[in-house]
Amino acid sequence: MVEMEPKLSSGEPIDVESPLTRSELTHIRCGYLSLRCWWSQLASKPPSFKHSPRCMYPEKCSYAWRLKFEGLAETEKIPFPKVDGIRRLQEVQKCLTVDPFLTKFMPETCRHNALQELQKCRENLLRQLHHHFDL
């Protein structure tokens, strides 16, 4: 279904010969819109995380996290459509895990906690995905 994103974004019909009813198609379109909105909201405000007691500069640490997360989440460098929050989060997490900027400006425990929050977001989306298609 994720591959249908370009058609749905442009308002094209999913499939002329589709066995889906008009109501089912509405559910799909609403789900796609909900997932795009979910991603846009997350991309503009990364999940907060608990700082290590040894974190000397929590404001600087949070700023570094926000800067890198938002920069990566908003770019087109992630090869998955915005409706695919699961794979996008996985890709963001993979990139931020090895990011040298974060390694330099965030203590290891803070980085670990921040990345764990991304993992929690992904797991929560996996559990709640079907609700995006409820009307």
Using one digit for the tens of pLDDT, what is the confidence trace for 5-31?
666 666 666 665 678 787 887 888 888
Share of the chain above pLDDT 70, in %: 87
Range of the domain at 125: 2-11+19-133
Nearest to 96 by CA among 127, 117, 126, 125: 117
Instruction: Give the pLDDT mean for 87-115.
Output: 96
* Number of domains composing the chain: 1
With a cut of 90, say whether residue 76 has pLDDT above it: no
Task: Say how far apart CA 49 and CA 28 lie, in whole Å.
Answer: 33
The three-class DSSP label of residue 16 is coil
